[in-house]
Amino acid sequence: MRHSAKAFFGLAICLALFAAPLRATDFWLFPRVDTLDLDVRSMQELKYIETIRQGFDFSCGSAAVATLLSHHYALPTDELEVFKEMWAHGNQEKIRREGFSLLDMKHYLEARGFRSDGFRISASRLEEVGVAGIVLLDKLETPHFVLVVGARGDELLVSDPARGIRTLSVDELEASWNGVFFVVRGQATLARGHFNDPEVWKQRRWAPIEQERLGQALLPRLHELPRPGEVNFN
């Protein structure tokens, strides 16, 4: 009788296991009560959940603008679209040498009906502004645009086109930037609703701990792009 019970129980488990295909996101133990569906995303995806990654080595400016419009002003925007427009209407030789500027961004935004300006402010007061803005880390070996998308006391939440969501202290930002905070003027209610987003704060845990070089060797470089008059995006 004892052997029969063991055999029956073993058969029941086998039948339960093979009764239906097992999906990667289904986890259950006999007797089955319900299915637990898990949202499985990679650490890389989590880092860029609210950040548009730059497609070129020095296209952080166009990626920052695309991130700002897509995630803070409800206007889904492709980084390549921004890149092509700012490249076509900007000083291409200067862009090739130095990358995009805040002036390039301002022209792009205003052509789409967004008034924008840069103003000087200390990093410790960014929480008072209450909307996301673009900053230039110009004291690094390679100047780099990022967005400040949240602030809590001494900690700033940064959306980095090269590294995803991460944090900087107020002192770290003060030591790295030129003191200009570039923002869209208008639609403040919409923008404030996305500043200090708790879900984005959660993603900072996935940011790499080690210091990374901002230049990405495997990405196309601006000096490899066509010269003025040679551009063809078709």
* Residue 229, domain member (yes or no): no
Domain identity same for 156 and 79: yes
* Residue 234, domain member (yes or no): no
Does 143 score more than 50 pLDDT?
yes
Range of the domain at 6: 2-37
**Residue positions annotated with a catalytic role:** 60
* Residue 232, domain member (yes or no): no
Does 26 score more than 50 pLDDT?
no
Domain identity same for 131 and 165: yes
Return the SS3 of 165.
strand
Model pLDDT for residues 45-90, shown as the tens digit of each residue: 667 778 999 998 889 999 999 999 999 999 999 999 999 999 999 9
Domain identity same for 184 and 94: yes
Model pLDDT for residues 102-131, shown as the tens digit of each residue: 999 999 999 999 999 999 999 999 999 999
Domain identity same for 9 and 63: no
| Domain of residue 108, CATH code | 3.90.70.10
Domain identity same for 22 and 104: no
Domain identity same for 94 and 168: yes
Q: How many domains does the chain have?
A: 2
Domain identity same for 31 and 110: no
